[in-house]
Chain A
Amino acid sequence: QKEVEQNSGPLSVPEGAIASLNCTYSDRGSQSFFWYRQYSGKSPELIMFIYSNGDKEDGRFTAQLNKASQYVSLLIRDSQPSDSATYLCAAPLNSGGYQKVTFGIGTKLQVIP
């Protein structure tokens, strides 16, 4: 079973700190990776995607990809209480010749004021 795995948390960080969210995936053939933010009771929203090894920065968010180790992470700098949400990692995994997007269960982030 090809999977995307995340720790469900909650991950608690103080306001202003760096939050580090991690995700591992089982399909070495996966090429692209996505991070979605989901506030409680709301639908997911795409916040980052990354295709290449290394770092990709967008404002306070940095996505990191290491294909050799099969993990992708999301760093949130200067965490704010408004960042409190569940963060879903997603990757297309090969399923019977079709690249099916598979989601992790999400990591709940709590930013403490």
Chain B
Amino acid sequence: DGGITQSPKYLFRKEGQNVTLSCEQNLNHDAMYWYRQDPGQGLRLIYYSQIVNDFQKGDIAEGYSVSREKKESFPLTVTSAQKNPTAFYLCASRPTADPNYGYTFGSGTRLTVV
């Protein structure tokens, strides 16, 4: 079945540590996105990629980095510069960047700072 796979489901980060969240899709979608969800807030866009080898900052990119070397993969690194990383991270994709397409979401990664 086609879909988006995020791993790990739960991740614990120590202070000063970089961690990488995986996002893989087999939907043949060009556009991929990373969102962060905090209680009581809407989804906030971290980074997006409209096509392989290209990506753009979203609204809250500070302390995060991404790569898009393959169409199927869009990993997110949470660096030590991100001071409040505890959140639910969601990867999404759609066929193209055309805003008339809805998103398919992965199952999410819950990151906690310990």
Contacts and interface: CB of A to CB of B under 8 A. Distances in A.
Interface of A: 4, 8, 31-32, 34, 36, 42-46, 49, 51, 88, 90, 92, 99-106
Interface of B: 40-43, 45, 58, 90, 99-100, 102-108
The B interface is mostly helix, strand or loop, or mixed, namely loop
Contacts of A36: 102-103
B99 A92 contact: yes
Contact of B107 (A32, A43, A92): A43
The A interface is mostly helix, strand or loop, or mixed, namely strand
Given A31-B100, A32-B99, A51-B100, A8 B40 contact: yes
Contacts of A100: 45, 58
Contacts of A32: 99-100
